[in-house]
Amino acid sequence: MRILVVEDEKKIADFIKRGLKEEGYAVDSAYDGEQGLFLVKTNVYDLVLLDLMLPKLDGQSLFKEMRKMKISFPVIMLTAKDATKDKVAGLDLGADDYMTKPFAFEELLARIRAVLRKKEGRDSKTIKIEDLVMDLSAHKVTRAGKEIPLTSKEYSLLEYMMRNSGTVVTRTMISEHVWDINFDTFTNVIDVYINYLRNKIDAGHAKKLIHTVRGRGYVIKVDKV
């Protein structure tokens, strides 16, 4: 899952970015409204964290501009002001959620997960494919009941594939949702990570779940025998 953080207070922006990366999210950041608008126009995000008080273009204007252009990424607004008026204004505009700074990072994570679940119309906190289970809250993956240790990038890639199980995901789609803006399209890093996952998820199991679709990409699914 790829997140854009639009926040001009660099300390807060860096704190959020570091925390999200540790959780396995791909994160881009913008430090003013214009840069934020440019990034939402030119990239694909699963979620945008949008501060309201921003230089050059304020958060509400950025949000309105985004929606006017039919860019429908979910948005959680961040603001230092805790006035009910601002909260109501933000939600009236159609923001998915709202957080008042300062906030506990754990709460931000919980809200992000909730918004992503809502977006997918998924209520469950786990994703299951055959005997492979991902617990989205605990960040744990098990196969046949046995926990599989994953790095945050491996987890993130597997999460993206499991959320799209049964659908072929191309390398471009993977790079857009799992890597950040610094992704180098000329490397084979995605294939390398797919191999890491295969070794951890499928090796030693008769039923393979990760499949290559030649010329297109990858899919995670149960093969009908």
Give the residue with the Cβ less far from Ca ion, 6 or 141: 6
State the minimum distance, in angstroms, from the CB of residue 9 to Ca ion.
5
Q: Which of 151, 171, 175, 159 is nearest to 218 (CA)?
A: 171
Residue 171: partners with Cβ closer than 8 Å, 6 or more residues away? 190, 191, 217
State the minimum distance, in angstroms, from the CB of residue 71 to Ca ion.
21
Choose which of 53, 93, 210, 222 interacts with Ca ion (CB under 5 A).
Answer: 53
Residues between 90 and 129 that touch Ca ion (CB under 5 A): none
Angle among Cα 177, 179, 182 to the nearest 5 degrees reads 130
**Residue indicated by tokens 């070794």:** 199
Spatial contact of 46 and 177, defined as CB atoms under 8 Å apart: yes
Residues between 141 and 160 that touch Ca ion (CB under 5 A): none
State the minimum distance, in angstroms, from the CB of residue 40 to Ca ion.
17
Only segment of 53-61, 67-75, 115-123, 124-132 that touches Ca ion (CB under 5 A) = 53-61
Asked if residue 12 binds Ca ion (CB under 5 A), the reply is no
Give the residue with the Cβ less far from Ca ion, 81 or 128: 81
Q: Is the dihedral of CA 171, 174, 178, 181 positive or negative?
A: positive
Q: Which of 155, 143, 139, 163 is nearest to 205 (CA)?
A: 143
Asked if residue 46 binds Ca ion (CB under 5 A), the reply is no
Q: Which of 25, 83, 68, 69 is nearest to 49 (CA)?
A: 25
Give the residue with the Cβ less far from Ca ion, 8 or 23: 8
Choose which of 28, 51, 97, 180 interacts with Ca ion (CB under 5 A).
Answer: 51
Choose which of 8, 46, 154, 176 interacts with Ca ion (CB under 5 A).
Answer: 8
Binding site for Ca ion (CB under 5 A): 8, 51, 53
